[in-house]
Amino acid sequence: RKEVEQDPGPFNVPEGATVAFNCTYSNSASQSFFWYRQDCRKEPKLLMSVYSSGNEDGRFTAQLNRASQYISLLIRDSKLSDSATYLCVVNEDNYGQNFVFGPGTRLSVLP
């Protein structure tokens, strides 16, 4: 069965904190990986793709460990505007239909 699991959350952190989310996937043949953020009652929006060598975009760093089948997202210097639900998304092949969404991890950054 296809599964993507995430830290259950919620994470409540003060402004300026560093926070890390983990995501595991069950299909070792998975090809592409993404982190999306979803604000309350809004659509998911792409935060970043995750590359095999790891990648960084400003305060956000994503890592992929294929051997252990997990993906991580690190947020440094948290801002109030980072409060959202973070979705881990795994695509299991090079075709479109097999995008599997994790349930999300909710982050609240507190003043």
Partner 1 sequence: NAGVTQTPKFRILKIGQSMTLQCTQDMNHNYMYWYRQDPGMGLKLIYYSVGAGITDKGEVPNGYNVSRSTTEDFPLRLELAAPSQTSVYFCASNVILTGEGNQPQHFGDGTRLSIL
Q: Considering the rule CB under 8 A, would residue 99 count as an interface residue with partner 1?
A: yes
Question: In the block, which residue shows the tokens 């890390």?
Answer: 20
Give the distance, in angstroms, between the CA of residue 64 and the centroid of all CA atoms in the same chain: 11
Rounded to whole angstroms, how far apart are CA atoms 74 and 61? 5
How many residues are given for the chain?
Answer: 111
For residue 96, state whether it binds partner 1 (rule: CB under 8 A).
yes
Residues 25 to 44: which contact partner 1 by CB under 8 A? 31-32, 34, 36, 41-44
Residues that bind partner 1 (CB under 8 A): 4, 31-32, 34, 36, 41-46, 49, 87, 89, 91, 94-97, 99, 101-104
